[in-house]
Amino acid sequence: MSEAATAAKPMIAGPREGLVVPYDASGVVVVDLQALGSNWQSLRDKVAPAECAAVVKADCYGLGAQQGVPALCAAGARSLFVATVQEARQVRELAPDAEVYVLDGLLPGTVNELLEIGAVPVLSSLPEISEWGQAAPSRKEPLACALHVDSGLNRLGLSAREIQELAHNMHLLDRLEVKLVMSHLACADEPEHPKNEQQLSVFRSLQPLLPSVPLSLAASDGLMLGPDYHFDLVRPGYALYGGQTHANRDCPVKPVVEVYARVLQVRELAPGQSVGYSATFVADRITKLAVVAAGYADGGPRHWSAASGETGGQVAFAGRLAPIVGRVSMDLITVDITDIEDFEIARGDWVEFIGPTITLEDAGASAGTIGYEILTRLSPRFERIYLGADASGVGEG
Ligand SMILES: *Cc1c(COP(=O)(O)O)cnc(C)c1O
């Protein structure tokens, strides 16, 4: 939708004070760009003198690269990580001066596209290294790349055997400028897990075999493990967007996202009446039910559903929690509001899914998943509202 069309729309009072929203929004995703920029700065300060990059893959974890990337750059981020070539193309346009690393590396046949974009592939295997190297002789300058080495995650990355082979064939890197050697942790969200130290020591032991260039091991949780894990550059994504996998760890970030939807109807059930598809929830008392304009098509996990006797997802009305009951359907969610007696809930009211009462982690946990998945599945149907969009407000400092 064009900006002019949005601007012309009548606005109404939103889910919280000071927030106005288009009158016809069934739900809103509120993204605080000021908080995003200041989260990056807090992490930068925490890891200095290491560099703090920003992981902006998956459309800034679902929150909008169009708005998120300029906010992060205005805050001071210089190195950005995306997953795919298409993401690199979009991010390059938004951040002409940033270093853009592509975590998927070199998909066969994408050399020219990456060169044209001016993105740096994170190479994870010898075939990728040689394919990238073959593009080099036609260029004046050595070609920039990063190397991903596996230290125990067994996802992407050069294996120990490939690293040995590379060490004996260093000419493979002759025409390449290796900007970064990186690896990724498997269990950083469990600080006591022995795998963290194991991977740290494997990563260190590989250094003599590799070019001596800046190193990077930690993402959001990894950087919380302490300075041993920072090396020269850290790669947080989730924490920038307000994610804190450990409530009790001292992660210096603030929430960035709030999600609200509107009540379409309030109805009363007699004991014995069922709610929703497959009649999984049956009222055992006179039950007041709010029908809310949010469903799995908006990004609400179907695992928030709760049959009688089960606990599923929760929402909040003005700070008061209420349980989702019955099945989450495509466009609708049903909530038991019987126990909220001290104020009236009515058609048109706002319901919180993520906000001051329900954290991103809670929203994930109550569906048996993680906040990352909740963020990246938020759909475009809810209106996006960006606060602090004026980049000048997100200054260096
Ligand atoms: C996604 C990703 C990150 C960022 O992880 P967060 O947990 O969101 O901070 C960093 N490095 C790699 C290799 C990734 O795939």
pLDDT in tens, 14-31: 998 889 999 999 999 999
**E strand or H helix at 112, and its extent?**
helix 111-117
Q: Which amino acid is at 60?
A: C
Whether the CB-CB separation of 350 and 260 falls below 8 Å is answered with yes
Nearest CA to ligand 1 atom 12: 184
Short-list 135, 380, 372, 79, CA closest to 88: 79
- Rounded to an integer, what distance in angstroms lies between the CA atom of residue 155 and that of residue 53? 21
pLDDT of residue 79: 98
pTM of the model: 0.94
What are 67-123's pLDDT values in tens digits? 999 999 999 999 999 999 999 999 999 999 999 999 999 999 999 999 999 999 999
Q: Measured on CA atoms in the order 187, 252, 53, 166, is the torsion positive or negative?
A: negative
Mean pLDDT of 361-379: 97
Quote the ligand 1 centre to 236 CA distance (angstroms).
6
Quote the ligand 1 centre to 312 CA distance (angstroms).
28
Q: Residue 4 pLDDT > 60, yes or no?
A: no
Nearest CA to ligand 1 atom 3: 219
Quote the ligand 1 centre to 303 CA distance (angstroms).
25
Detail the DSSP E strand segments found in 103-175: 120-123, 143-148
Which is the closest atom of ligand 1 to the Cα of 238? 8
